[in-house]
Structure 1
Amino acid sequence: MCGICCVVNLSASSQCVLQKHVREKLQNRGPHSSRDITETASRYSCLFSSHVLHMRGVLTPQPLQDDDGNTLLWNGEVFGGLPVGAEENDTKVVIQHLSLCKNPSDLLSVLSQVKGPWSFIYYSKVNQCIWFGRDFFGRRSLLWSCGSEEGSFTLTSVSSRLPDSDSSKWLEVPAVGVYRLDLKSCSQGGKLKLELYPWVYLGDEPSNDFSSEGLPSSVSLVMNNAGLQLNFPVNPMNTSIQAVDSNDEPNHTFSLTSSDDLKEFLLKSTKKQELVRSLIDVLSEAVRRRVQSLPYTDNVSPTETPKSDEAQVAILFSGGIDSMILAVLADRHIPPDKPIDLLNVAFKLQERKMNQGSKKKQHKNKNNGEHVNVSVNDITSSDQRTSNCFDVPDRITGRAGLQELKKISSSRKWNFVEINVTQEELKEMREKRICHLVHPLDTVLDDSIGCAVWFAARGTGIVSEGAEEKDHTSNAKVVLTGIGADEQLAGYSRHRVRFKNSGLEGLVKELAMELGRISSRNLGRDDRIIGDHGKEARFPYLDEDVVSFLNSLPVWEKADLSLPRGIGEKLLLRLAAVELGLGPSAVLPKRAMQFGSRIAKLENNHEKASDKCNRLVTS
C-alpha cells in the first residue's frame, strides 16, 4: 500500500508544491520509502509524490518509471488477473504491462484484468497525459481538488480538513471508471478537461449517468469520445425473484432458532451443503490471498527488528459472524507458529450514562421461552454498575468468540487485544488526526465508524494471559475487515424493512443499491483511517471471486428474512459458520460497530446517522 499524490499546474513557470500537512499524512501511510519526481514541459509541470508501505516482493520505491519515462504511482494489490509471483512486486508487474500499451484500449484491458483493490496515477510521457482512478468498489482512497488558481489540479490518497478554506475543496474520486487528463490540450486551452472511461458489464452500453458535481467551472468532465470502457471483473447480480425450478423455491416451512437447528437443516439439504461448501472454498481462497506472501522480514517501522512471536495479520474483531469466519479461515492459511491479533475496541461510558444503562428486557425465544445468549444482548443498568466500564456488547461477544476460536484451533496463539478508549482520548485524537482522515466525508456515521476503526486499527491495548494483563500494540500490517458481508447478504435492519414492504423484488433492488454505493459510503474512508497507521485494510468479502459467486445466487439462497434476527439475515453465511465448527457466534444478530463499541452512546443520542457532524469540524 502507498500514499500517492500528483500536483498539476498548467504553467511551467509556477512551481508545484505539496503542502506539508498532506505530505505528513501520506508518509504515515507509507513509512518504508518516500520519493518525489517532477515532470516539466513547455506549458505544464507535474509533481509526483509516493510513500510506500512494503507489502510484497522486494521493496520498490515509487514513483516508478520505465525506460520511456512513463511514471506509475500504484496504491493497490494484484490478487489475481495479472500473474504475480510470490516473490514479485506487483507495482513492477503493473508498470511492465502498462509500458506495452499502445493505446487507451490496451490500458483499459490491463486494468480490467486486475483483481484486487487499487487506486493509481499513471503519467504517459509520450502522450503527455495522466490516467488515474480507483477500482470499481473504491477499496483504495483517491481524492481530487482544484486549487484557487485556474489550471491547478491535485490528486492524493489523503488530505486535511482546513478551517474556513475554500482554496482546496476535496472530493473523493468517484469509482465509476478511470479518468484521463490530456495535459497537452489542457495547457493550450488553459482549462482542465477530464475524460471518463466507465466500468460496464460486458455487453452493456455505457451510461451517461455521471456527475461532475463539486468540480469548479474551470474543469469539465466528459465521456470519452471513443466509447471505450472497462469491463467489470465480477458477474452481474442475479435479480431473479421467481424460481425456474420448483425445487429451487424458497423454503418457509422450517423453524430455525439456534446453531444446532442450522446444523440439522444443513444436513437435510444436499443443495445447501453444496452452496455452503462453495462459499467456504471461495472465501477461504480470498483470505489466503490476503494473508500469505507477506514480507515477514520487516515491520511497520523500517528501524525496528521483527519479533518471531509477533502477529503479521490482525482482524477487526467483534465476535460476530463476519469477523469469526475471517478468523477461522485465516487460521487455515497463516503459519501455526504465528499469532493472530484480534482487535476489539470499546469506548468508556460516562458514569451518568452507565447508571442510566439500557432499559431493554432480555430477549427470549418465543418458541420455548428460554433465554438466548444473555451475554450478547444490551447490558442492563445493573450489569453496567457491576461490570468493567469497558464491557460493552462487542467486548462481551468478542471474549465469547475467542473461546470458540480456542476450541477450533487450540494451538494457535490468539491475541485478543482489548482496546479501551476514554472520552478524553477520543476527543484529542479526533481533533488531531481522525477528522482529517474522514474528510471529505462529514456525517455522524462517518465520525462514529471512523473513530472506532482508527483506534481499533492502531491496535494499542491489553492482552490477558491467564490472570496477568500485558500491554500490547499490534504491529500487523494487514488488517482484515468484514465489510461487504452485510451489503451482499442482507445483514442490515433496513433490508428487513425493505423486504417487509416490497418483498423479494424490493430486497434485490436494495442489495444492488448497497453494492453500487459502497465505494462512496465506506471504503475510501476506511482505507484512509487504517492506512494512517502504516497498515493496509483488506476486504475478503469484496474479493472479486466472492462477489461473483454471491451475485450468481438468487436472493433467497443468501438470506431468508422471514426468519428471525440472528438467523434469516446472512443465512448462507451462518450455515457456513456452522459447517466451519462455530457455535453461538453463528446466530448472533447484527450489531453495528458504532453501537457494539458504544461510541454512539458517548455523543448526542438525538443525532441521526446522516446528520452533518459538528465534531469533525476543526477550529
Structure 2
Amino acid sequence: MCGICCVVTLSSQHTIRSSLGEDVLRRLGRRGPDSSQQLVKTAPDLPCECLFSGHVLRLRGPVTPQPLEDAHNNIFLWNGEIFGGVHVGDAENDTAVMFHHLTSCRSEADILSLFSSLRGPWSFIYYQASRHSLWFGRDYFGRRSLLWQCGNEVDGAFCLTSVSVYSESSDQWQEVPACGIFKIDLKACATTKSFSLTLFPWKYSCTEKPVEEIFIDALDRVSKDLLNHIPLVLNESKLCLRAPVVPLNKTINEASGGCLGSNVSNITHMVSVETLQGFLAEEHRKKLVCQFTDVLNEAVKRRVLSLFRGEGQKTREVARASSREAHVAVLFSGGIDSMVIAALADKHVPLGEPIDLLNVAFMVKEKAKQKGTTKKQTNREDLLCPQESCQDLDAKTGAHLSCFDVPDRITGRAGLKELEAINPSRSWNFVEINVTLEELKTMRHRCIHHLIYPLDTVLDDSIGCAIWFASRGEGFISNQGELKPYKSPAKVVLTGIGADEQLAGYSRHRVCFREHGLEGVNGALELELDRIASRNLGRDDRVIGDHGKEARFPFLDEDVVSFLNSVPISEKADLTLPRGIGEKLILRLAATELGLTASTILPKKALQFGSRIAKLESNSEKASDTCSRLKLLSVD
C-alpha cells in the first residue's frame, strides 16, 4: 500500500511545488512510512513540468522505493496489490513487476490488456516518456483512493493524489471515478496550453452496448466541477478495458414466485440456527453454499498470505499477549460478515500467529444509576473510560456497567467465544477500542476530516471516524482476566464491506422488495456495486491507510463478485423471511457450514449504530445531510 501523487503544470509561471502543500505530503507519508521520494521531470521539448511523489508501505517482497524510473525516462507510481492475472513471485515486489510489464507495452491496446488482466485493488500513475502520455486510474471497484484537482487559471496545475486536505477554496478535490483509466497527452496539452482527458472505459466482454453509450454513462460519474475546466473525450480507437467480473444475473424463478420462503414450511419462518441447518438439508442449496464458501475462502487466503512475515520487522512499544505479533487484523463487530472473514482467516494464518479482532465502541450517554450501585470504581474501570462518565460496579454481581457496552461490543465478545470454540489453539486478540466524545472531536479536527474529504455527509463522518479509530487498533486486550493496553501491529486490515451490497443486507433492500419485488432488488444490487467506489471505498482506503495499514476486501474479490453475480437473487437472499435469516442467506448458510452458531442469525446492525457513534453529537441529523462538523474545521 502506498501514497502516490503527481502534479503537472503547463506554464513556467506556475511554481509546481506550490500546488502541493506540506500538509498533503505529510498525509501521503503516513500512508507509506517505509520510503518517501520525490522526482521532478521536465521534458526537453515540452514547456511542462511534472512532480512525482511516492510513499511506500512494504507488504510484499523487498522495499521498492517509488517513483520508479527506467533508462527510457518512463516513471511509475503504484498503490495496489496483485492477487491474480499477473504472476508475482513470493520474493518479488508487485510494483516492480507491474513496471516491467508496462514498459514492455507497445500500444494503447497492450496497456489496456494488462490492466484488464489484473485481479486485486489498485490505483496508479504512469508517465510513458516515448509518447509524452500520463496514464492514471483506479480498479473496477475503486478499492484504492485517487483524487484529482485542476486549478481555475489557464496556467493552473493538474494534480493527482491518494489523499488531500480539506479545502474551502474554489479548486475542490474530487475522487477520480472508477469508470476506466485516463490518459493525458502532454504534448497536445502543451500546444493548446490547456488540459484534456481521454477515457478508456470498462466494458463487460459479453455486452452489446455501444462504446459511445458506455462513455455517456461514464460522463455521469465524472465531477461536473472538473469538466468545467477540462474536457473529457472517448479515445479515438474506441478501445475499452475488459471488466474483471461477469454482469449480474437478473433471472427470476417465476415457478417459485422468486422467493425461497414460498416453498418452505412455517418452521423456517422462525429465526434459529436450526432453520439454517434445515436449508442445508437441500442438496442443491448445500452444493451452492459449498461453492460460495470455497471461492470466498480463496479470496481470504490470498489476502492473508500475500504479506511479508520477516523476523526483522519492527516491534511496537506496547505490550502484547503473545510472543508473536499479529500481521492480520479484522474490523470486528461479531456480526455475520466479520465472523466469516475471521473464521476463514483462521484457516490460513500461521497457527502461532495471533489474529487481532478490532472492536470499536463510542461512549454511550450515562444511564440512570441502578439501586445500590455505590461501590467505588476499580482500576479496570479506569482503563475502560473516564471515571466521571461510567457507572459504578453492580452491588449484587460485581459486574461493571460499562459506558462502552454498545451493541457491537456485546456481539463482539459473543463472537470471540464462537471463534475460540472453533479453534482454541489460536490466540485471538479481542481489542476493545474505546472512544470518548472528547477524543472523537479532537481527532476529527486534527486529521480525520481531511481523510473523509472530499466526501462530506453525516454518514461519511460517522463511518469514517469509526473506521479510523478501529483500524488504528489502540485499545485493551484481556490477559489472564485483566485488561492490558495494546496496539495492533497488523499491517493488513480485513473488512467485510461488499457483503451487504451483493446479498441484500440493508433495510432499504427489504423496502425495495416490498415495493418493487425481486426485479427491484436486482436493480438495487446492481446500483450498489456501481456506486461503491464513490460512496465507500475511496474513503475507507484513505482512513485505514492513514495508520500505515492496508485495507483488504475479501467480499470484493473479483472471483467472489463473479460467483455472486452469476447466482440468481433467489439463491442469495429471501426477503420473505425474517431479519437475521432472509438477508444474506447464502452467507449465513456458509457460516453454519464453518461451524458458527449464534452469530449466523444476528440481524444487520450498521457500524454507525452498532458502535453508537450515530446520534452521539446530534439527534436531529439525517445520514445524507451535509455534516457541519466536517465543514467547520480549519486546515491545520
Output the TM-score relative to the length of structure 1: 0.92
Question: 156, 161, 175: which one pairs with 1:156?
Answer: 161
Question: 319, 326, 330: which one pairs with 1:311?
Answer: 326
Q: Does 1:4 align with 2:10?
A: no
Distance 2:625 2:63 in 1: 43
Once the two structures are superposed, the pairs formed by residues 104-123 of structure 1 within 5 Å of their partners are: 104-123=108-127
Distance 1:466 1:405 in 2: 18
Once the two structures are superposed, the pairs formed by residues 26-175 of structure 1 within 5 Å of their partners are: 26-41=28-43, 42-151=46-155, 152-162=157-167, 164-166=168-170, 168-175=171-178
Q: Does 1:337 align with 2:339?
A: no
Question: 487, 495, 499: which one pairs with 1:485?
Answer: 499
Aligned to 2:383: none
The amino acid of 2:186's aligned partner reads L
Q: Is the 1:300–1:535 contact (alpha carbons within 8 Å) kept by the matching residues of 2?
A: no
Question: 459, 463, 469: which one pairs with 1:445?
Answer: 459
Distance 2:315 2:13 in 1: 37
Q: Specify the SS of the correspondent of 2:231.
A: strand
Deviation at 1:298, TM superposition (A): 6.9
**Cα distance, 1:323–1:300 mapped onto 2, change above 3 Å:** farther
> Mean Cα displacement is larger for which, 185-194 or 289-298?
289-298
Q: Is the 2:120–2:557 contact (alpha carbons within 8 Å) kept by the matching residues of 1?
A: yes
Q: Does 1:597 align with 2:611?
A: yes
Aligned to 1:575: 589
Aligned to 1:362: none
Could you tell me which runs of 5 or more consecutive residues in structure 1 were left unpaired when the two chains were aligned.
Answer: 358-380
Deviation at 1:300, TM superposition (A): 8.0
Q: Does 1:198 align with 2:201?
A: yes
Deviation at 1:58, TM superposition (A): 1.1
**Cα distance, 1:62–1:264 mapped onto 2, change above 3 Å:** same
Question: 249, 255, 258: which one pairs with 1:238?
Answer: 249
Distance 1:466 1:414 in 2: 13
Q: Specify the SS of the correspondent of 1:214.
A: helix
Deviation at 1:224, TM superposition (A): 1.4
**Cα distance, 1:570–1:299 mapped onto 2, change above 3 Å:** farther
Q: Is the 2:276–2:588 contact (alpha carbons within 8 Å) kept by the matching residues of 1?
A: no
Q: Specify the SS of the correspondent of 1:448.
A: helix
The amino acid of 1:97's aligned partner reads H
Aligned to 1:290: 303
| Residues 590-616 of structure 1: CA deviation (Å, up to 9, x unaligned) | 000000000013121110000000001
**Cα distance, 1:183–1:584 mapped onto 2, change above 3 Å:** same
**Cα distance, 1:107–1:339 mapped onto 2, change above 3 Å:** same
**Cα distance, 1:185–1:301 mapped onto 2, change above 3 Å:** farther
Q: Is the 1:314–1:479 contact (alpha carbons within 8 Å) kept by the matching residues of 2?
A: yes
Output the TM-score relative to the length of structure 2: 0.89
Deviation at 1:93, TM superposition (A): 1.1
Q: Specify the SS of the correspondent of 1:504.
A: helix
Q: Specify the SS of the correspondent of 2:4.
A: strand
| Residues 96-136 of structure 1: CA deviation (Å, up to 9, x unaligned) | 11111111111000000000000000000110010000001
Distance 2:125 2:566 in 1: 33
**Cα distance, 1:318–1:198 mapped onto 2, change above 3 Å:** same
Question: 165, 168, 185: which one pairs with 1:182?
Answer: 185
| Residues 195-233 of structure 1: CA deviation (Å, up to 9, x unaligned) | 111011014332122134111633111111210110101
Q: Does 1:433 align with 2:443?
A: no
Q: Specify the SS of the correspondent of 1:333.
A: coil
Deviation at 1:234, TM superposition (A): 0.4
Aligned to 2:378: none
Question: 235, 251, 254: which one pairs with 1:224?
Answer: 235
RMSD: 2.3
Question: 341, 358, 361: which one pairs with 1:326?
Answer: 341
Q: Specify the SS of the correspondent of 2:615.
A: helix
The number of residues matched between the two structures is: 591
Q: Specify the SS of the correspondent of 1:314.
A: strand
Aligned to 1:250: 260
| Residues 523-580 of structure 1: CA deviation (Å, up to 9, x unaligned) | 0000000000000000000000000000000000000000000000000000001000
Distance 2:554 2:13 in 1: 47
The amino acid of 1:147's aligned partner reads G
| Residues 328-367 of structure 1: CA deviation (Å, up to 9, x unaligned) | 000000000000000000000233xx4499xxxxxxxxxx
Q: Is the 1:317–1:344 contact (alpha carbons within 8 Å) kept by the matching residues of 2?
A: yes
Distance 1:469 1:302 in 2: 21
Deviation at 1:95, TM superposition (A): 1.0
> Mean Cα displacement is larger for which, 385-394 or 253-262?
253-262
Once the two structures are superposed, the pairs formed by residues 397-412 of structure 1 within 5 Å of their partners are: 397-412=411-426
Q: Is the 1:33–1:61 contact (alpha carbons within 8 Å) kept by the matching residues of 2?
A: yes
| Residues 485-516 of structure 1: CA deviation (Å, up to 9, x unaligned) | 00000000000000011111111111111111
Aligned to 2:275: 262
Identity %: 57
Q: Specify the SS of the correspondent of 1:268.
A: coil
Q: Specify the SS of the correspondent of 2:141.
A: coil
Q: Is the 1:300–1:475 contact (alpha carbons within 8 Å) kept by the matching residues of 2?
A: no
Q: Is the 1:117–1:139 contact (alpha carbons within 8 Å) kept by the matching residues of 2?
A: yes
Aligned to 2:24: 22
The amino acid of 2:476's aligned partner reads I
Q: Is the 1:87–1:293 contact (alpha carbons within 8 Å) kept by the matching residues of 2?
A: no
Deviation at 1:263, TM superposition (A): 4.3
Q: Is the 1:160–1:439 contact (alpha carbons within 8 Å) kept by the matching residues of 2?
A: yes
> Mean Cα displacement is larger for which, 259-268 or 463-472?
259-268
Distance 1:356 1:69 in 2: 70
Q: Specify the SS of the correspondent of 2:106.
A: coil
Q: Specify the SS of the correspondent of 2:324.
A: coil
Distance 2:607 2:259 in 1: 34
**Cα distance, 1:589–1:350 mapped onto 2, change above 3 Å:** same
Distance 2:323 2:351 in 1: 12
Q: Is the 2:204–2:242 contact (alpha carbons within 8 Å) kept by the matching residues of 1?
A: yes
The amino acid of 1:568's aligned partner reads G
Q: Does 1:495 align with 2:536?
A: no
Deviation at 1:309, TM superposition (A): 1.4
